[in-house]
Structure 1
Amino acid sequence: MKLTIFGATGGTGVELLRQALAAGHEVTAVVRDPRRLPADLPSGLDIRQADLMDPDAIAPAVKDRDAVLSAMGSRDRAPTTVCADSISAIATAMARGRTRRLLMTSAGGLVTDAGDGVFVRYVIKPLIVQRLFKHSYADLREAERRLRATNLDWTIVRPSRLTDSGLTGRYRTAWDVNLRGGLSTTRADLAHCLLALAADPASVRHAVSVAI
């Protein structure tokens, strides 16, 4: 597949790059600062330096791609609009070309639903997790809203607490509902799931939870 990845210098983004290149995909990374990319990435990566919030600047990188994947996220708990603004820019740029498939990384703690256990649904998430990540979750919530409002073939992927424990291959998924007992997700498993979903048309216009 021809893939373009945003948020490529973050933990999940780097895993996406490594796995996509290892699988033989044609990969473009759109970054503000190429120096933040690891030096030991597999060969073949196309690096585009651009303002990620400027649709005109990123349009060439998303044109005629099989899928675009966003692993954008904030690096602290301060107020931010990085996810919402970047997804708007990406969607606008894609609308000008011939690319329709867009996958966005969100967070499992963002929503509570019937998939959660009672204690998680009424105590852990609303009273602890959602308060702790108040600003980043507000940004992700708005990003999801903006993505759902587009005409693109989108998929929202919601991992649990992210870890760097490596690829396990034992992760579970649930569509449009949270995963009961899904306490963590490795970044490598998340990347693996994103790449699998990118090639799965059945996941279009669904929110997919992923956790071990």
Structure 2
Amino acid sequence: MLKIALFGGTGRVGQAFLNFVEEDGHHSVYALVRRTEGALIPDKCCQALTGNARNQHDAEALIKDCDIVVSCLNTDGDDTLTVSIEHMINAMNVHRIKRLVTIGTAGILNARQNPALYRFETNESKRRSTRAAQEHARVYERLRESDLDWTIVCPTYLPDGPALKTYRFERDVLPLGGKEISTGDTAHFLFTQLESDQFVKARVGLTY
């Protein structure tokens, strides 16, 4: 059984991930939430701690007794990702926790036509704004410098939807022709990585 420190558990992918943990019944989750009132956190498998991922003390309090860190945080329109990843790395180093799985974006995968560039730097990405992708790229670059056993799950367009449990994935690039992947299937793949070392120190492109 793993003790999971979860950031972003009230978001779309985080909620779907918690459903898989609850259904599986083998792991426990400690989730950092800004406020516990109204937070849709399943009582059977999850304990909510009030705090903010931008606060070093809150991040360390969540992580200190856990075996693995999972982050489903989004960019939040600011630098939350880059601020929080520093807190996670610092706390994990202090408490000698190695494994981190986080949600990124397909924009930070390698471009197929020019692997030296990120997808968001080429016409392979259809997004007009690159701000969120740049924030995710900074997280990737920071993790690459660390000694952690990290995996970044990189879904393409992410509509709400259930888990079909049938999808494609590929190391460091988006599978050819990939257009979208549901929140449910993104969470399902995330769940499969908890005890897998297949993609340690790698980004994983995820799509139907």
State the TM-score bracket (shorter-chain normalisation): 0.7 to 0.9
Residue number in structure 2 paired with 1:59: 60
* Alpha-carbon spacing, 1:29–1:145, altered in 2? closer, same or farther (3 Å): same
The answer for the alignment partner of 1:191 in structure 2 is 187
User: Given the alignment, which residue of 93, 110, 113 partners 2:108?
Assistant: 110
SS class of match (1:138): helix
Alignment of 1:30-45 (within 5 A): 30-38=32-40, 41=42, 43-45=44-46
| Change in 2 beyond 3 A, CA 1:172/1:15 | same
The Cα of 1:112 is off from its aligned counterpart by: 4.5
Q: Does 1:158 align with 2:159?
A: no
- Of residues 166, 173, 184, the one that matches 2:169 is 173
- Residues 140 and 168 of structure 1, relative CA distance in 2, 3 Å threshold: same
Give the letter for the 1:84 counterpart.
T
Q: Larger helix proportion, structure 1 or 2?
A: 1
| Structure 1 outlier segments of 4+, above 4 Å | none
TM (norm. structure 1) is 0.86
- Secondary structure of 2:37 counterpart: helix
Contiguous gaps of at least 5 residues in structure 1? none
**CA-CA distance at 1:59 after TM superposition:** 1.3
Deviation at 1:124, TM superposition (A): 4.6
| Counterpart secondary structure, 1:162 | coil
Q: 1:167 to 1:146 in 2, by over 3 A?
A: same
Change (3 A) 1:153 1:45: same
Give the aligned length.
201
> Aligned pair 1:123/2:161, yes or no?
no
> Per the alignment, do residues 30 and 183 of structure 1 end up closer, same or farther by CA in structure 2, a change over 3 Å counting?
same
CA RMSD in angstroms comes to 2.1
Measured against aligned partners, the alpha-carbon deviations of 1:83-116 in whole angstroms (never above 9, x if no partner) come to 1111111111111113110111110123442289
1:72 and 2:68 equivalent?
no
Letter in 2 for 1:97: H
C-alpha distance 13-36 of structure 1, shift in aligned 2 (>3 A): farther
User: TM-score normalized by structure 2?
Assistant: 0.88
Are 2:83 and 1:85 aligned?
yes
Sequence identity percentage: 25
Is the Cα contact below 8 Å between 2:160 and 2:183 reproduced in 1? yes
Task: Give the direction of change, closer, same or farther, for the CA distance of 1:146–1:184 in structure 2 (3 Å limit).
Answer: same
1:123: how far off? 3.2
C-alpha displacement at 1:44, in angstroms? Answer: 3.2
AA partner of residue 148 (structure 2)? L
Partners of 1:177 and 1:44 in 2: CA distance: 34
Q: Which letter maps to 1:123?
A: N
Q: Is the 8 A contact 1:166 1:187 kept in 2?
A: yes
